[in-house]
Amino acid sequence: MVLGVSGGIAAYKACELLRLFTESGHDVTVVPTEATLHFVGSATWSALSGKPVHTDVWSDVHEVPHVRIGQQADLVVVAPATADLLAKAAHGEADDLLTSTLLTARCPVVFAPAMHTEMWEHAATRANVATLRERGCLVVEPAEGRLTGADSGKGRLPEPEELYEVCLDVLARGVAPADLAGRHVVVSAGGTREYLDPVRFLGNRSSGRQGYALARAAVARGAEVTLVAANTALPDPAGVKVVRVETTAEMHHEVTAAAAASADAVVMAAAPADFRSAEVSEAKIKKSDDGSAPTLALVQNVDILRELSTHRPRPGAVIVGFAAETGDSSGSVLELAREKLARKGCDLLVVNDVSGGAVFGSPDNEAVILGADGAAVDVPRGSKTALAHVIWDQVSARLRA
């Protein structure tokens, strides 16, 4: 792997990214720009990578590093990628070792931009990003938050752990086409809460892990991703716009709003509560002295999946639902799921057998993906990231059709 580091204050975060790569067994060559060394010195990069570090093409000339490094790489990731570096890469400049390496690399290339909001939003930067994406590079959307000094906004380098996950995903898929490039997808994750009083709520066991895996996988495939997350404790995935909600009503509003912004696909991986209390007490409900319990009157929440399927954000949009089933006297897991698929009207339904609490909070998953066209894809037990890619494979095929 090649870790390119351009000259921005976020260069210090790249040290942690480098550590994650090396500790997981990857052979990493660090190629900083000259400006980078004003922020983090060459001794640090050499110590963490175990290799000498150079910025120019004149060191070890007999090994032709400006050609060899790119030719031998399985992945090139530039983090942070400044506005200057993006401009040089987009226009094919090669005035140092990093930009020369980018011209010779034939492997996947990931850019993680970091800069002030005004620079990220400038028309020149947006044009350079568009050019790089058209050439097949993955340009990860920067995060929103605290920037240099007191400034806040979009332009923050995503956290190293999340960039690491994106890079591993890209590395595993190799030069697979970015089939979701130019697409906007909306993913929901987590379990909603319906309050009974200021303290108590009705909820469920969804951790949000599958939804987050879907968001990360979509980023790795080039999509613009909006993640509507309910009550999760997971870090924001790199390159994803995260909208946090608590209740089903809030999720309904945010998913609908995000989908209305020309979403090509909506994947409802969240577990919205089916019911809510008819009345929410303004004060904590107290125990009674006689040991009796209060009676709760419940009303149904809006069916977000069915509404999305009925009122598509745009013609041709693909709608995906999830079904956590256990089976009962009325039918098996798949029989109940097929009934749900027909009732909801979505294009795909990902069916999980959750008997005994399986799937919840686990890093692994297995499922059957049912299609409204009669298709059925069995996905054996594996990582939730692996399942996410199978789901996106099915979505991508339907978008192309």
Query: Tell me, what CATH number does 268's domain have?
Result: 3.40.50.10300
- 301: in domain: yes
- 73: in domain: yes
* Sign of the CA dihedral with 309 first, then 272, 266, and 381 last: negative
- The domain tally of the chain equals 2
Cα–chain center distance at 95: 34
The CATH code of the domain that includes 51 is: 3.40.50.1950
Query: Does residue 279 sit in the same domain as residue 382?
Result: yes
Q: Is 301 a catalytic residue?
A: no
Distances (CA, A) of 353 to 334, 374, 381: 9, 19, 12
- 178: in domain: no
Q: What predicted TM-score, i.e. pTM, was given to this entire model? A: 0.89
CA distance 17 to 48: 10
- 141: in domain: yes
Query: Does residue 118 sit in the same domain as residue 196?
Result: no
Query: Does residue 6 sit in the same domain as residue 71?
Result: yes
DSSP result, 143-176: EEEE-STT-EEEEEPPPHHHHHHHHHHHHHHTT-
Domain boundary among 144, 173, 202: 173
Query: Does residue 240 sit in the same domain as residue 389?
Result: yes
CA distance 32 to 95: 13
Phi and psi of 349, rounded to 5°?
-130, 120
Q: Which of 128, 204, 352, 365 is catalytic?
A: 204
Element (H, E) at 37: none
Element (H, E) at 91: none
CA distance 91 to 205: 49
- The three-state secondary structure class of 237 is coil
CA distance 133 to 114: 17
Quote the DSSP letter at residue 57. S
CA angle 352, 356, 362 (to 5 degrees): 60
- 69: in domain: yes
Query: Does residue 150 sit in the same domain as residue 298?
Result: no
- 355: in domain: yes
Domain boundary among 173, 194, 212: 173
Query: Does residue 203 sit in the same domain as residue 306?
Result: yes
Encode the chain (401 residues) as per-residue pLDDT tens digits.
999 999 999 999 999 999 999 999 999 999 999 999 999 999 999 999 999 998 877 676 666 567 889 899 999 999 999 999 999 999 999 999 999 999 999 999 999 999 999 999 999 999 999 999 999 999 999 998 888 877 888 999 999 999 999 999 999 887 666 899 999 999 999 999 999 999 999 999 899 999 999 999 999 999 999 999 999 999 999 999 999 999 999 999 999 999 998 899 999 999 999 999 999 999 999 988 888 888 899 999 999 999 999 999 989 999 999 998 887 878 888 999 999 999 999 999 999 887 765 566 688 889 999 999 999 999 999 999 999 999 999 999 999 98
Query: Does residue 100 sit in the same domain as residue 240?
Result: no
- 179: in domain: no
Number of Cβ atoms within 10 Å of the Cβ of 314: 12
Residue whose C-alpha is closest to residue 209's, from 337, 388, 350, 381: 388
- 39: in domain: yes
Q: Two tokens at 25?
A: 């067994």
Query: Using H for helix, E for strand and C for coil, what is the string for 303-361?
Result: CHHHHHHHCCCCCCCEEEEEEEECCECCECHHHHHHHHHHHHCCCEEEEEECHHHCCCC
Query: Does residue 161 sit in the same domain as residue 195?
Result: no
Query: Does residue 141 sit in the same domain as residue 279?
Result: no
Query: Does residue 247 sit in the same domain as residue 380?
Result: yes
Residue range of the domain that includes 335: 184-400
Query: Does residue 203 sit in the same domain as residue 93?
Result: no
Query: Does residue 86 sit in the same domain as residue 203?
Result: no
